[in-house]
Chains A and B, each alone.
Chain A
């Protein structure tokens, strides 16, 4: 009985003294940082990404609605607490349209612009390179109307 009580006490204390809000707080910080990365663009929406390690790399997906004649900016910021580097990909129904990571050159962009010519539903896919565990924020903002 005493062993059970000790185990229960240990569990309760671990839960209490773990930094429960750490993720939420650092996500807020990441949103702020990502806003600075996006520069002059007008903030529209943020996407919070937290993925475990995996093979194939796990994916977090968000449907979004984009409008014709708007230049959007997608920016990404990684949490320093994790090894994973986030990759953002923009898809329509079945085609990849834009990405922050160009495989051919291996180059990562902290932000990319998307000149939209078709109002409709799109999909944002977020993964971490090499399937590593990671936490990141993606930001959708508006650069200008065309």
Chain B
């Protein structure tokens, strides 16, 4: 009797373990990622010398393709296809590091296309991004079919932006969860470099004071980005990327940013509680510095896309 109940208990445990392993077979919700096998070549086991939490928090917020594109569009500056990278260029990116960089660059361009509702180009860029994402094992987070349908039918452009943006956020989270946070940092660097490049091209064509200020503001953003990238500087590819970005940082040293602080005020605007910041930001730089920054940003970006 005792041996029968012992066998029963063992069978129950075995059944439990089988159930546990079957959960990763599910295709529902965010479980999709669990059944993926990541090649060793894409894993980075060396822990960064700062806490994971700090790394994650820094990574989430450095660069946004949507905001950069919205600022440019908000100044009534027309769309220019020549500003963005050709999708054919994607074939030149071979290593996982380069592909992650390209993912960031094309992600930024997708934000620019989405913001200007250039859906005729969007499908091509989504396809390129999907291929790059697949190559570094994060393609499952890119809802290609939905994005393609939205772009092809020119329908619900808000959803197009939402899903594009959310896909990149999910890729970021997943890369960090699977110890590939360096690739996430590289994507962020790609988004930043392309956003800065778009701004520099617009600056050359429009000479709008707000664009000049936006370029100057990059001093602060670049500080965050370099701090993030330097966490991984022992990696030879990252070391090289940092070396390529450093000249831009040096050109920003001559940019002076000062603030006048004020207390925010709360008002109701169209029924929405709106808090208005009263701080003032003053960005100062001479023309030589401005032109050097533009030149260095464009040099960097052209190196990154292997022109």
Instruction: Tell me the A residues contacting B by CB distance below 8 Å.
Output: 1-2, 5-6, 8-9, 12-13, 15-16, 20-21, 24-25, 28, 31, 35, 40, 42-46, 62-65, 67-71, 73, 90, 95, 97-98, 109, 111-121, 142, 144-146
Contacts and interface: CB of A to CB of B under 8 A. Distances in A.
Interface string B1-43: 0100110011011001101100100001111000000000000
B12 A13 contact: yes
Interface of B: 2, 5-6, 9-10, 12-13, 16-17, 19-20, 23, 28-31, 57-58, 60-62, 64, 66-67, 70-71, 73-75, 158, 161-162, 165-166, 169, 210, 213, 217, 220-221, 224, 259, 263-264, 266, 269, 272-281
Given A21-B30, A113-B272, A144-B74, 12 more contacts: A9-B9, A13-B16, A16-B20, A21-B31, A42-B165, A45-B165, A62-B57, A62-B60, A63-B60, A113-B269, A118-B279, A121-B224
A32 B16 CA distance: 34
Given A21-B31, A44-B165, A45-B60, A142 B12 contact: no
A46 B62 contact: no
Nearest to B29: A25
Name the prevailing secondary structure of the B interface residues.
Answer: helix
Contact of B70 (A15, A31, A145): A145
Contacts of A115: 274-277
Contacts of A12: 12-13, 16-17, 20
A68 B166 contact: no
